[in-house]
Amino acid sequence: MDIKVVVITGAGSGLGASLAKKYSVMGCHVCLLGRTVSKLERIAEQLTNSYSIYEVDVTSRNAVANVMESIKEEAGPIDLLINNAGLGVFDLAENLVEEAVHDMIDINLKGTIFCTQEVLPSMKKHNQGIVVNVISTAGVEGKVNETVYCASKFGVRGFTESLALELKETGIRVLGAYMGGMKSPFWDGILSAERIKDFMDPDDVADIIIENTKPRKNITVTEVIIKNKM
215: pLDDT strictly greater than 90: no
Q: Which of 1-5, 98-102, 195-199 has the lowest mean pLDDT?
A: 195-199
19 belongs to a structural domain: yes
Average pLDDT for residues 71-79, to the nearest whole number? Answer: 97
Q: How high is the pLDDT of residue 207?
A: 96
23, 54, 149, 178: which one is catalytic?
149
230 belongs to a structural domain: no
What's 128's domain CATH number? Answer: 3.40.50.720
Continuous H helices in the chain: 14-25, 37-44, 61-74, 98-104, 111-126, 147-166, 193-196, 202-211
Q: How far apart are CA 90 and CA 145, in angstroms?
A: 5
Question: Over the range 73-112, which residues count as b (16 or more CB within 10 Å of their CB) and which as e?
Answer: eebeebbbbbbbbbbbbbeeeeebeeebbebbbbbbbbbb
149 annotated active-site: yes
Highest mean pLDDT of the ranges 25-29, 191-195, 212-216: 25-29
229 belongs to a structural domain: no
149 belongs to a structural domain: yes
Q: How far apart are CA 225 and CA 230, in angstroms?
A: 15
164 belongs to a structural domain: yes
Question: What is the chain's mean pLDDT, rounded?
Answer: 94
Q: How far apart are CA 182 and CA 35, in angstroms?
A: 21
230: pLDDT strictly greater than 70: no
* 190 or 145, higher pLDDT: 145
Q: What is the pLDDT of residues 102-147, one digit of tens each?
A: 999 999 999 999 999 999 999 999 999 999 999 999 999 999 999 9
Q: By residue range, what is the domain housing residue 208?
A: 5-224
204 belongs to a structural domain: yes
211 belongs to a structural domain: yes
59 belongs to a structural domain: yes
Domain count, the chain: 1
User: Is-contact 156 135, C-beta < 8 A?
Assistant: yes
* 185 or 203, higher pLDDT: 203
48: pLDDT strictly greater than 70: yes
% of the chain exceeding 70 in pLDDT: 99
DSSP 149: H
